[in-house]
């Protein structure tokens, strides 16, 4: 099957020949997929095991040839991004340093947060009970080689939206720009949400780090909403700095 057609038929938005993303229903959470010559990275796992399994199945359709997702990156520890992780059996799982401890201690809180936002209790409880923890903790930066000349950079850029924010940079090529998966440090479909685990004093600095990673010409993929540019990220930084009274 033609690669572009495979992205379209799976319901994904293609951002580059080897990069796409899917806006999941209900909470409009973005999942990403980066395809290398040998391996494939999924970014985010969805809000339930069913949603995670759907992402896994769609990725297999895009990859073709019996290939599957081999790596999974979680940008931060909120239910709509992590509770589907157990659906990706056998993958190498990455998160910001400390995420493993937080998830181990916070299963009940994740379950309860999912239920408060409308996930059925049985689905939330099952996903929380089976939740898997990251195997690899990213302290600064971590380069993944997916084969075929495709590399991605995992960068611990937080705290900000949460205490454990990680971004994913897909370097540009001759035919595609740099692409930065921002997690919920950037939101386009609504005002950025600052829950009890947010660190407002550090959020603007986290956005500066995103801009340093991607530069002026990158595509910035928010945790929720349409793909944006550097100007949007700078404007959101200014808004957050004013909102929280920080520079």
| pTM of the predicted model as reported, rounded to 2 decimal places | 0.96
Q: What is the pLDDT of residues 29-85, one digit of tens each?
A: 999 999 999 999 999 999 999 999 999 999 999 999 999 999 999 999 999 999 999
Grade residue 2 by pLDDT with cuts at 50, 70 and 90. low
Grade residue 6 by pLDDT with cuts at 50, 70 and 90. confident
**Closest Cα to residue 94, out of 154, 150, 53?**
154
Both structure tokens of 81: 């991004």
d(CA 178, CA 135): 27
Q: Is the pLDDT of residue 1 over 50?
A: no
Main-chain phi, psi angles of 178, to 5 degrees? -65, 145
Give the chain's largest Cα–Cα span.
52
Q: What percent of the chain has pLDDT over 70?
A: 98
Both structure tokens of 128: 């929380």
Grade residue 86 by pLDDT with cuts at 50, 70 and 90. very high
């Amino acid at each position: 099957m033609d690669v572009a057609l495979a992205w379209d038929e799976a319901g994904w938005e293609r951002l580059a020949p080897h990069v796409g993303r899917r806006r999941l229903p209900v909470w409009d959470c973005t999942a990403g997929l980066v395809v290398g010559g040998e391996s494939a990275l999924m970014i985010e796992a969805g809000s339930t095991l069913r949603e995670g399994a759907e992402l896994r199945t769609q990725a297999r359709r895009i990859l073709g040839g019996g290939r599957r997702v081999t790596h999974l990156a979680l940008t931060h520890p909120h239910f709509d991004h992590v509770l589907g992780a157990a659906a990706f059996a056998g993958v190498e799982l990455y998160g910001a340093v400390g995420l493993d401890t937080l998830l181990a201690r916070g299963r009940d809180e994740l379950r309860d947060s999912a239920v408060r936002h409308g996930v059925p209790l049985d689905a939330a409880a099952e996903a929380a009970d089976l939740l898997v923890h990251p195997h690899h903790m990213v302290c600064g930066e971590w380069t993944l080689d997916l084969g075929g000349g495709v590399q991605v950079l995992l960068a611990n850029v937080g705290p900000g939206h949460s205490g454990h924010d990680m971004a994913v940079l897909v370097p540009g090529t001759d035919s595609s720009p740099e692409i930065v998966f921002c997690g919920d440090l950037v939101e386009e479909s609504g005002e950025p949400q600052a829950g009890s685990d947010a660190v407002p004093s550090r959020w603007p600095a986290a956005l500066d780090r995103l801009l340093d990673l991607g530069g002026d010409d990158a595509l910035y993929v928010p945790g929720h909403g349409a793909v944006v540019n550097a100007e949007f990220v700078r404007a959101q930084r200014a808004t957050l700095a004013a909102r929280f009274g920080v520079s």
